[in-house]
Amino acid sequence: MENVSTKTKILVVGQTPPPYHGQAIMIETMLKGHYENLELIHVRMDFSENIDEVGSFQIKKIFKLFTLIFDILKTRFSSKAKILYYPPAGDATVPILRDIAILCTIRPFFKKTVFHFHAAGLLDGYNKIPRILRPLFHLAYKKPDNCLNISEKLPPISHFLKSKQHTVLPHGIDDPAIGFKRSSSNDIRQILFVGAVRESKGVMVLLKAARILLDKNLAFKLNIVGEFATRDFEKEARSFVSKNHLGDKVIFHGLCKGEEKWEQYRVNDIFCFPTFYENESFGIVLVEALAFGLPVVSSDWRASTDIISEPENGYNSKSKDSADLAVKLEALLQEPDLSPYWETNRKRFTDRYTTDKFVKRIDSEMTGNDRNLRKSNMKKLIVVGQTPPPYHGQAIMIETMLKGDYANADLVHVRMDFSEKINEVGTFSVAKIFKLGSLIVRIIHARIKHKATSLYYPPAGGTVIPICRDIIILLCTRIFFKQVLFHFHASGLIDGYNKLPSLLKPLFKLAYHSPDLAVTLSQSQPQLAEFLDSKEKMIIPNGIFDNASGFERLSFPAEKRILFMGAVIESKGVTNILEAAVILKEKGLRFSVDIAGEFAEETYEVFSKKFVADNNLEGIVSFLGLIRGDDKWERFKNCHIFCFPTFYENEAFPVVLLEALSFSMPIVVTDWRGCPDIVTEENGFIVKTQNPSLIADALIKLMSNNEKLSQFAQNNRQRFLEFYTTERYYENIDNALHYIHSK
């Protein structure tokens, strides 16, 4: 018999069906999972038995509230579970008040609290509650140990609640389509909607779109599966169908469960889910549609665009826009062959949204929370640093470091939050003065609270304002620590020192002088340890999670897709890429360029897009904006050459180059800072900075030689696995922590 006593015990509070809705289904799915490291102990919420009771007030719910609190506390002590899992409310006031009552009562009895945000809208709900209740809101929800969010595209609730950790954890479901293979479409295309039948799920938008399709004499049937949320809305919907002559087009099937529900997915041709539901976060029905290979038209609401990528999986229509929805549905109704969607959507489901993947993610995250519990007696290291947002190399690597499991220290994070957007980095604002004072207080408070004697700090690069910020912070905080570790994610500090007014240089030396350990990222970084007279130095290359596991780059097409990813600024070499694209176009080569990332300045965005227009590069060059998570990894998979001609003054050891290596991408890069340590003649081409002709020449050599591309692709994957994985990175960081605590 399996011994569960060694497993981490998690007390799970949450609704399971009935009623049937996304949150209840996902908590039930989570509870059914088999975990290597966890024992889940469930205390069931049962405030609502029908869908129309959800979020409403009833006298009987007061008694159920007291019963639930009693059951939670009873189970807490009988099971000895020290970690609480709780799914917070959405934007509705009554459920938020319920949460406040529950959490204020029970959280003091748990050492760790994990919030899993199945519903969205809590920020909006906070703004709705009376001001007198807001202190109680903060008391109930403040500073959880982890916020599990199901999409990057949901509101940044973890920062609002000051969560100690933020994790994106997409849902997964049992595969309902095992053995099913779609082989044909109906002569008259069948459109399926599944969900709670209410206005904010987009049902009226869908019915109005159906009327538009009818006016165009398009052949279709619309099957609406689900329970009406209210009788009033049922009357409204049925009346609209009748008045608009949709009676032979629209069928309301009511609630379907089990095999009856899966049969609806099998016999329909198109799935439509135009939700704008205020609590919508991650439509499980979209995942179910993918499992059955259905092409999908969803709204662009919340996480829907994470699940459905346009045009690979279908279309994203504007929320609340029946005309746009009709256009997207018409495109699929008129599509002569829907079969390309069948395999693509099925694969998207199996790659991302199965129960196995969901359970493994839960197992890993919850075990991590217990690991933190066991670290309470370890030596503490105060880690000061930015984590995303904004998304740039230093923030990503500090977040990666914080996720590590170390034998020699427990990391306590004090988050820098000077910048939330990429265009704010390195700039001055009055608000940052107040944030500076707050950060200093938080560092000193963490030092005293955790009895930490060691400080980890990532110094600025070559920009004067961040250096002045560092001087103030370090002068105010270093005196409280016995050991100081500087980790140089950015280069350029020596150049920055030379830019300072003479009056500030003595303060610079006082702030930065003689750290106990200086960690640089490569041999090519300037001699910062010697400049600061560090007592010891280490070189620790960055390492990243392997998001390309299982991916194999098998071939290269005739038309190559070139990818740039990073902050879209001139010094990252973006203009040089555009100029190289002009050269490639003039030579008649078939190619495209995807530029992924945020523009740091509006003026540069205007310049870049004008350059593309003036040089007839539309259709060749695409500005994708900031992409994250699975969308980002898909872009690496679908492109063929990575181009990163940086000469950015703070560049040290670009994380995007490691990501490109992991996805077996041949690389063209400049001979700038740590880039030549990552890319060699074995896996790409290194060119001089700010030279579009050399960039174009290198790209031409790659684009015209598939054999060379295949050789570089194989070498790059091998180089990543050998040098740049998180396992190797964490081992090196742990060695640094051992050194700093052995002093």
Please list, in sequence order, all residues whose beta carbon lies within 8 angstroms of the beta carbon of residue 39, skipping any fewer than 6 positions away: 4, 7, 8, 9, 10
> What does the pLDDT average to over 629-635?
90
Contact of 280 with 302, CB cutoff 8 Å:
yes
pLDDT by residue (tens digit) across 532-549?
A: 999 999 999 999 889 898
pLDDT by residue (tens digit) across 514-529?
A: 999 999 988 877 688 8
Please list, in sequence order, all residues whose beta carbon lies within 8 angstroms of the beta carbon of residue 12, skipping any fewer than 6 positions away: 27, 30, 31, 40, 41, 42, 43, 85
Residue 457, beta-bridge partner list:
486
- The residue that leads in pLDDT, 235 or 24, is 235
HEC string of 144-161 equals: CCEEEECCCCCCCHHHHC
Specify the 3-state DSSP secondary structure of 576: helix
Contact of 623 with 609, CB cutoff 8 Å:
yes
Rg of the Cα atoms in the chain: 28
Containing H/E element for 728? helix 726-742
pLDDT by residue (tens digit) across 665-719?
A: 999 999 998 899 999 888 899 999 999 999 999 999 999 999 999 999 999 999 9
* pLDDT of residue 327 exceeding 70: yes
Claim: this prediction has a pTM higher than 0.85: no
DSSP 531-563: HTT-S-EEE----B--TTTT-------SSEEEE
* pLDDT of residue 53 exceeding 70: no
pLDDT value, residue 52: 60
* pLDDT of residue 426 exceeding 70: no
d(CA 158, CA 659): 26
Here the tokens at position 389 are: 């947002």
Here the tokens at position 185 are: 């479409």
Cβ atoms within 10 Å of 184's Cβ, excluding its own: 8
Q: Tokens 């179910």 identify what position?
A: 288
d(CA 532, CA 509): 8
From start to end of 46-195, where are the E strands?
A: 83-86, 112-117, 146-149, 166-168, 190-194
pLDDT value, residue 524: 74
pLDDT value, residue 87: 93
d(CA 107, CA 139): 10
